[in-house]
Amino acid sequence: MRALARVLVDRSGAAPVVALDGEIDASNVADVGAELRAVVDNRANGLVVDLTPTGYLDSAGINLLFALGDELRTRQQTLRLVVPRGSAIARMLAITSLDRTHPTYATVAEALAGESS
């Protein structure tokens, strides 16, 4: 059976970049959360989560991102989200105010540079 989501990690920069490929929901959010948390060490300046390949994100996934952002903030690190403009995921982030709580970017390059979209 195929997993609902894959967590793809790139640790080549000061902030690891994690692409969430697939669907994030209540059935897999604990595993995805554990993988995201394992990626960030104390030397990182934060975490970039690329939601471009994410097909579905329910309230459990939104809650995970809020919690992860809060955890990073207490460690003086930043959660940066990459979200395609006009996508269903972008609308979800706007409805829940996640896009106002954590910086969002149109591309991974912008997120790494810290240029808000």
Question: Tens of pLDDT along 32-41?
Answer: 999 999 999 9
Rg (CA), the chain: 13
Q: Is the pTM value of this prediction over 0.95?
A: no
Write down the mean pLDDT value for the chain: 92
Tokens representing 29 are: 């959010």
| pLDDT beyond 80 at 94 | yes
Name the H helices within the chain: 29-39, 59-74, 88-96, 98-101, 108-113
Domain covering 5-113 assigned CATH 3.30.750.24 in the classification: yes
For range 9-15, the mean pLDDT: 87
Q: Where are the domains of the chain?
A: 5-113
Question: Three-state SS for 115?
Answer: coil
Instruction: Please tell me the predicted confidence (pLDDT) of residue 13.
Output: 81
